[in-house]
Amino acid sequence: MKKITAKAIAFLLTAATAASLQAAGTLDVYWADVEGGAGTLIVTPAGQSILIDTGVPASSPAPGGKCAERIHDIAVKAGLSKIDFLVTTHFHMDHFGGAADVAKLIPIGQILDNGIPDHDSDGVAANDASFARQIQPYRDIKADGRSVIQVGYVFPLKQFDGSAPLTFTCIGARKQFPAPPGTLTNTICADGVQHAVDTTDNANSIVMLLKFGPFRFFIGGDLTWNMESNLVCPFNVPGTVDLYQVDHHGLNLSNNPLLVRSLEPTVAVMSNGPRKGAMPETMATLRSVPSIQTIWQIHRNTLGGKEFNTDTNYIANMPANTCEGNYIKCSVDPSGKTYTVSIPATGASKTYATKVNRP
């Protein structure tokens, strides 16, 4: 009888795990602890994967340098052997820096971004040499293909029998948004206040909208205040959503109340760090929106108390002087009508009903 090696057993276990996830027909979203950067992994009912941003590189000071390892660990838990799509929302180090390290751990299919800039992404000429060194590993990634994403691009995702229809669409890139979906003016736009023009690459962030049956999920990268206003005023392009990935780690340069009020999310998930993001102004905005039932955070912000933080039950990483690397997960029922957000490491979990009858 042929001996079964440990490697073969591991492969079979991984395949079995992936098959069981597919059989469940759920849509799963994971927010990795990337120390105040961003790293969101979507796993579809058909077993395809979309990784949005990758945190900082391994060369960064620990624990931030563990971003790729943490993303890979989640991918293994999800039964993945490949990242089908890698989306880089914009070219700041805390969003693209870990990509080359991730590619060393797991194969990458298609890379989609705004097109790699030849100079510092914020247009600061003095930073060009440093930016060139930082971006080179990203340029060197071996992938099945690369393309500059366009507004209106719909990811070629497989549908899964027994699960709700799934679409994932780019609704913003390089300060451009699609034509309004109708003629109904957003009535709250008169309340808006403009900030100074943002000249950084944050304003170019790729914006995406996921639809799974009635379920809606908004991802806006580090989109900043005025661009957020342009997305929902005078017309609310994305419409209402169930889940809001808080823009820009919860910094007050973003999270314009016009955006959050227009989206009317039920749940907000924030990829912040121990001393980055979750700013009081943003927390106040989120708490002021009647539709929001729960705010979930990757980290407790050690800069302050309740004005910087949600309820401790909904914070994945609590200690101030250590980093546990815990992630947040959302699992959407195959029908798209209910979804559960959880912190697997702590056992925290809460289930919500999707807005079936949305405007």
pLDDT digits (tens, 9 = 90+) for 243-283: 999 999 999 999 999 999 999 999 999 999 999 999 999 99
> Which neighbouring-strand residues pair with 108?
83, 143
Structure tokens at 274: 């121990």
Contacts of 294 (CB under 8 A, 6+ apart): 266, 267, 268, 310, 314, 341, 350, 352
The model's confidence at residue 211, banded by pLDDT at 50, 70 and 90, is: very high
> What's residue 117's pLDDT?
95
Inform me whether the pLDDT recorded for 301 exceeds 70: yes
| Mean pLDDT score, 282-297 | 98
> What's residue 202's pLDDT?
98
Phi first, then psi: give them for residue 72, nearest 5 degrees.
Answer: -65, -40
Inform me whether the pLDDT recorded for 240 exceeds 80: yes
The model's confidence at residue 320, banded by pLDDT at 50, 70 and 90, is: low
pLDDT digits (tens, 9 = 90+) for 154-168: 999 999 999 999 999
| Mean pLDDT score, 199-223 | 98
Chain centroid to Cα 4, Å, comes to: 39
Long-range CB contacts for residues 48-51, cutoff 8 Å, separation at least 24: 48/84, 48/85, 48/157, 48/158, 49/75, 49/78, 49/80, 49/82, 49/83, 49/84, 49/85, 50/83, 50/84, 50/85, 50/86, 50/87, 50/155, 50/168, 51/75, 51/83, 51/85, 51/86, 51/87, 51/102
The model's confidence at residue 1, banded by pLDDT at 50, 70 and 90, is: very low
| 244, 218 contact by CB (below 8 A) | yes
Q: In this structure, is the dihedral angle defined by the CA atoms of residues 105, 211, 189 and 271, taken in order, positive or negative?
A: negative
CATH architecture of 16-353: 4-Layer Sandwich (3.60)
| Mean pLDDT score, 183-200 | 91
> What's residue 14's pLDDT?
44
| Mean pLDDT score, 75-82 | 97
- 243-245 and 215-219 strand pairing: parallel
| Mean pLDDT score, 15-33 | 70
The model's confidence at residue 24, banded by pLDDT at 50, 70 and 90, is: confident
> What's residue 359's pLDDT?
56
> What's residue 65's pLDDT?
86
Inform me whether the pLDDT recorded for 82 exceeds 70: yes
Inform me whether the pLDDT recorded for 19 exceeds 70: no
CA distance 42 to 169: 13
| 88, 26 contact by CB (below 8 A) | no
DSSP 173: B
pTM: 0.92
| Mean pLDDT score, 128-142 | 96
> What's residue 236's pLDDT?
93
Domain ranges, ordered by start, for the chain: 16-353
> What's residue 153's pLDDT?
98
> What's residue 12's pLDDT?
42
